Amino acid sequence: MAEISGQLEGPLTLECDLVMRGRVKGTVTVPSGSRLDLEGVIMGDLVVEEGGAAIVHGAVAGTLVNHGGDVEVRGTVNCVHDYGDRLTRFGRDAKVGFDRARTAKTATGPAQD
């Protein structure tokens, strides 16, 4: 599985299985046959197509759009839209809705209160 980190500009469409750390500004798309392990922050939408897979350990500041992929939220997402037969699963510590300013700060360093 490939890994990327740092500050990236989207939109971004995966071409392989990927562990993503750091922050992406824009939409990230996971097509059929690809898998995303999100440990960072997407400052935009996460779109998972049918046949794609994603685990959100970090945060999605926009909308998580699941078109029937294998999706699990263990971190934080702003909102979720499920389309298709497979519904997004939520871990015990998952959160829906959050403070975007705080999330932006934690992507680049510790949050300041």
Q: What is the pTM of this model?
A: 0.85
**Domain range summary for the chain, segments of one domain joined by +:** 2-89
SS3 101: helix
Q: How confident is the model over 7-51, as pLDDT tens digits? A: 999 899 999 999 999 999 999 999 999 999 999 999 999 999 999
Contact between 11 and 27 under an 8 Å Cβ cutoff? The reply is yes
What is the spatial distance between Cα 96 and Cα 38, in angstroms, rounded to a whole number? 16
Q: How confident is the model over 25-34, as pLDDT tens digits? A: 999 999 999 9
**pLDDT reported for residue 70:** 98
User: What are the phi and psi torsion angles at 25 (to 5°)?
Assistant: -95, 115
